[in-house]
Amino acid sequence: MTDANAQGTAAHTQPTSDGSGRTAPNRPAAITRHYDAPDADCVRGSEYSEILALETERRKRAAEHRRKRGHAHPEREHADHGQPEQERSHGERHGHGKGHGHGKGHGAHHGHRLDEDSGLAHIRRDLADSVATRADSLTAILKAIHTHPETAYEEYFASRTLVDAVREAYPNLSNPNLKIEYPAFGLDTAFKVELTSADYDPAKHRTIAILSEYDALPGIGHGCGHNVIAVSGLGAFLALADALATGPEAFSGRVLYYGTPAEESDAGKELMARAGAFEQVDAAIMVHPYFIDVADQAWLGRRECRVTYTGVSAHASSHPFMGRNALDAANLAYQGLGLLRQQIPGSDRIHAIIDHGGDAPNLIPASASLHINIRSKYAPTLRALSRRVEEVLRGAALMAGVSAEVTWDSSPMTMPVRTNRPLLKRWVSAQRSVGRHPYPPGTVSDTLAASTDFGNVSLRVPGIHPLIQIAPEGTGMHTVEFAHCADTPAAVDAALDAAFGLASVALDFLVDDELADAVRADFEASGGAVDVEGYFSGM
């Protein structure tokens, strides 16, 4: 957005110490604009027209899918996007040392692919056996991380525990070929573990990244179940490493295992991406715990905004007419944001607080400020909502006769998640083989959506972020109840099922050229790679 009266500055920040001798990560530059006299530009609804068309087409496809599968129970339709029902074996449910269930025929896929009978089924059984063999150690790690909750950038125990687990599994980092970088990407609690086949050639073979999260919530602990995410990624990576160690011909390619800190409060994956983590990566996958098994749901993009209004102080009784009330502007802005909610899509969100409103009741406040979060389902609508919010903030300054300084993204933004459908089909197939039946996308209302920094990854490379059940239906995340559920037999079962599922998806992606082509085609059809770092710079 261009404004002749806006004076934009980039608020660069430097590494700081928290007093413990540790250096905080370099922060990306925030975007700050100062407005003296906003003009009357108005954002129309045209930004939403393309999104409405996409939504309409999506709903048409979903309706056609339901029509074709009229025999399916409407409340439990499988999330295969029209694929035929897969043959599966239910297998013994795993637990502490029990065999991990696996199935034959993990996909009736169109076109040429490595046939299950030609060896892929055997490799898939190896993945399941690896997860089952390591079930006790993986369970111990899940419980240990749950017992030691650590918040953003303080996840020293969790990250070290995961890295040590890889080192203990393969002390000499050979057979298969392994490399460990810890810390990584300029973050003390991030790590990178690289697994390559003996014949790996970056010009010929693909790379897939498996992601673990492990940060906790202040005062609640693992109320988002990131200890489950941590072990899911670890188990998947070790299963693939075991497969290569057992048979070097299992697959050709590279698997990256990333430890990603600070999802809850600071978009650690965005900082990793800016440090090059997802360059030369062809796909990225992870899983998140939830209160049902669901293939996909909406994950909203999120931006943070702070506005400071500066007026003129005066005595509120004797000379009020000499003042310019900054708190009036803050109140007008707050009310304007509330009224704006009527004109935005139902999945968009605006949350705001007035965090400063003056120092004494007998003084006209010379300074007042708001702290605002906004969320939207698509990147274009997040940008459009950003514009509309900023115009409300400018309008409030104009009405109160004060100046405004608007700062965006003092914490990195998170982008909406873009789900890759071909990869998602393979996840659903793998989950069915262990007895789970994920609900299809659209089961969870968009009005229940939250945000995750995996969105920043999914707009750079193809990815999936499915959800797996650890809690009774209706249990809210970010609660003490959900934290309790993250350390139960159901959480262990979910972590082991997810480990097998992620490993199976990664295997398919590395060995199946047609799948890889479909993954790339779906990604490009959905908009291709986005310049996430610069996406809002021209707003």
Q: Classify residue 280 as left (phi > 0), alpha (psi -120 to 50) or beta.
A: left
What pLDDT was estimated at residue 30?
A: 82
- Average pLDDT estimate for 224-235: 99
Out of 380, 408, 436, pick the residue that ends a domain. Answer: 408
Instruction: Let me know if residue 457 belongs to a domain.
Output: yes
Above 70 in pLDDT, residue 93? no
What pLDDT was estimated at residue 270?
A: 98
- Same domain flag for 293 and 304: no
Give the length of the chain. Answer: 539
What pLDDT was estimated at residue 51?
A: 62
Distance CA 539, CA 534 (A): 10
Pick the closest to residue 297 from 181, 464, 174, 159 (CA basis). 464
Mean pLDDT of all residues belonging to the chain: 86
- Amino acid of residue 97: G
- Same domain flag for 118 and 238: yes
How far does the chain reach from its first CA to its final CA, in angstroms? 4
What pLDDT was estimated at residue 275?
A: 98
Out of 386, 408, 430, pick the residue that ends a domain. Answer: 408
What pLDDT was estimated at residue 464?
A: 99
What pLDDT was estimated at residue 442?
A: 84
- What are the pLDDT digits (tens) for 442-482? 888 877 789 999 999 999 999 999 999 999 998 999 999 99
Total of domains in the chain: 2
Distance CA 430, CA 128 (A): 11
Instruction: Let me know if residue 18 belongs to a domain.
Output: no
Whether 431 contacts 500, CB under 8 Å: no
Out of 357, 391, 408, pick the residue that ends a domain. Answer: 408
Instruction: Let me know if residue 105 belongs to a domain.
Output: yes
What percentage of the chain carries pLDDT values higher than 70? Answer: 80
What pLDDT was estimated at residue 10?
A: 45
CA 166, 172, 177, 181 dihedral sign is positive
Q: Which domain holds residue 116?
A: 95-298+417-525
Q: Give 520's pLDDT tier (boundaries 50, 70, 90).
A: very high
- Average pLDDT estimate for 297-311: 97
Distance CA 285, CA 275 (A): 19
Residue 299, strand partner residues? 450
Q: Looking at 91-100, 332-341, 402-411, 482-491, which range is the least confident one?
A: 91-100
- What are the pLDDT digits (tens) for 15-56? 444 445 565 677 777 888 787 734 433 333 555 566 656 665
Instruction: Let me know if residue 47 belongs to a domain.
Output: yes
CA angle 454-223-346, nearest 5°? 55
What pLDDT was estimated at residue 266?
A: 92
- Same domain flag for 105 and 242: yes
**CATH code, 488:** 3.40.630.10
What pLDDT was estimated at residue 59?
A: 59
Pick the closest to residue 194 from 215, 173, 171 (CA basis). 173
CA angle 55-61-66, nearest 5°? 125
**CATH code, 304:** 3.30.70.360
- What are the pLDDT digits (tens) for 359-415? 999 999 999 999 999 999 999 999 999 999 999 999 999 999 999 999 999 989 999
Higher per-residue confidence, 17 vs 154 = 154
Residue 385, strand partner residues? none
Whether 423 contacts 506, CB under 8 Å: no
- Same domain flag for 125 and 223: yes
What pLDDT was estimated at residue 5?
A: 42
Whether 389 contacts 374, CB under 8 Å: yes
How many alpha carbons lie under 13 Å from residue 167 in its C-beta half-sphere?
A: 11
Exposed / middle / buried, residue 345 (Cβ in 10 Å: 0-12, 13-18, 19+): middle
Instruction: Let me know if residue 305 belongs to a domain.
Output: yes
- With residue 387 as reference, give the H or E element that holds it: helix 379-400
